[in-house]
Chain A
Amino acid sequence: MLREWERCPRHLLVSERSNFQLERSRHGVAVRGHPFNYRVSFLIPECGALPVKLKSVIKNFGKYYLVKDLPLHEFVNHDFINIFIKKGAFYALSYNTKIDQDNTAAVLPTGKLILSVDKDTYEELGLQGQPSRYSGKKVMRYIVTIDLTDASFLPDTKKHKRVLWALKENMPLKFDFLLAWHSTDVEVSTAMSYFSKLKMKEYEPNITSSILRDLHCPVLQNSELQGKPEESCSAHELFDWLGAVYNNVDCNNHSYSFISTYCCPQPSAVLSQAYMCTVTGFILPEKIHHLMDHLCQYFDEPKLAQWVSLTVHGFADSPVSWKESEHGFHKSGENLYNFVIFNNQDYWLQMAVGTNDDCPP
């Protein structure tokens, strides 16, 4: 029994090394497959001011919307499906719902409506779903997936009627939703007026940036993912160090310090300055991909920096992490990934998930 308390819940860290130019490079899969992103941060070593291009990219991250008390049956309405789902990538995630205690809903850009509901709601709802993978022997949570683009989901089909009845009459579920839409040919704000009959508010992602001085930074070698003793640091060490940087942790501790003995991984070098920027909100994968392309172009002109890093945090309470793999909240609901982009277009990709999560793609 004592041993059990010393064990920790499992967590996974996937590290990949590849090159952007490779045909089989999977960076797009990782970025596009991660639909709900809460925070995007990047760190550029040896950079005092952000290049104009990058500045405009993060300024144009696009708006997102918070719609209060949006009834779920709006999403199965065919007007909605024709306007949003079929003409672009629509993202919706219920706001302020904790996936370990409340009902949660999300709409994926693939046109799937996913409900993660507790047992009581599920039994009243009258829709078919699967028991959650992480709810143990006694199932307390169910996942209901409705494919809105399915051919059998046309108006007046039996399936559509059933779903509409369940969500409209039987169990009118309402959530506050975070919405965002990505479309190449239709103006987003005009389309969003579809929801104007509800209480809707528009938000801009929040941008903060800072310049760090005299930063101890681990030495990296793009070909050595696991690192070499005395020569370069491993991907996992870097991952840890990035956490320390984003949390403003002091890396200059002595081994005899009472407060903290945390140190920068060795071998390390001192950076005179580094630019750190954080964008917080409901951010679309398309925008992140766009930002990543621009970060790659950062090295088109010769730069002092060897690499730049791009970190993306997912929503802890989203019902999916990557693609449609189920996501849950155990002690924490982390699902995040980090790119380290080297100046020769090599990259490292690290994806980390917690306990109630599948292995990332």
Chain B
Amino acid sequence: MVRFKSRYLLCEIVVDDPLCRQIISQGLVHSTLKEALIRAHGDFGFACCSVSFAVKYVNAYTGIVLIRCRKAFYQLFWSSLPFITCLESRGQRFPCFFNTLHVSGTIRTCQKYLIQYNQKQLLRLLQNSTSDVERKLIERSIRSSLEDVDDEEDGQRSSEDELEHQ
């Protein structure tokens, strides 16, 4: 059996405006990526990537997105990412950029990387935190994430909770 090989790109959408987080959705990310791809590589580039191209996971709070693309053409797709400068929804434009965190061949390695990455982010938050309440909340979520490293759902939720509290 031959497997269709894919590449998973783990990206972070960096935005200034916190309002923007409300509009980040799977559909919006998909259409933004598609437009950028067509602009940079044309119909041909989009057609190359459109087979098995999918936004697998979007986290509106952390701005993390996971994108799947065919292995043969992921470079076309990857090279169009820097040309995304804003997210547009219902006539509103929010400046942003895509920061690629990790590229891998399986979704599992992306997950592992994401958990690690989120733990590091928590530690950074801890260092920068000012109030005691915040500090306690962060410590709690770090502890919970260390308890159950393999359970992605849990780790993710705790970090989400954390950011919600900010």
Contact = CB atoms under 8 A, between A and B. Distances in A.
A159 B60 CA distance: 83
Contacts of A2: 72-73, 75-76
A1 B75 CA distance: 11
Contacts, number: 6
Chain A interface size range: under 10
Majority SS at the chain B contact face: helix
Interface in B72-91: 72-73, 75-76
A316 B76 CA distance: 37
A2 B74 CA distance: 10
A59 B72 CA distance: 59
Interface residues of B, number: 4
Interface of B: 72-73, 75-76
A67 B75 CA distance: 57
Interface of A: 1-2
A2 B45 CA distance: 11
Contacts of B73: 1-2
Contacts of A1: 72-73
Contacts of B75: 2
Nearest to B71: A1
A2 B73 CA distance: 7
A208 to B, nearest CB: 42
A1 to B, nearest CB: 5
Nearest to A3: B75
B26 to A, nearest CB: 28
The 5 closest A-B pairs by CB, nearest first: A1-B72, A2-B75, A2-B76, A2-B73, A1-B73
Contacts of B72: 1-2
A247 B105 CA distance: 51
6 contacts: A1-B72, A1-B73, A2-B72, A2-B73, A2-B75, A2-B76
B45 to A, nearest CB: 10
A300 to B, nearest CB: 60
B41 to A, nearest CB: 10
A2 B78 CA distance: 14
B78 to A, nearest CB: 12
Nearest to B70: A1
A2 B76 CA distance: 9
A1 B76 CA distance: 11
Nearest to B72: A1
A1 B48 CA distance: 11
B147 to A, nearest CB: 45
A216 B121 CA distance: 66
Contacts of B76: 2
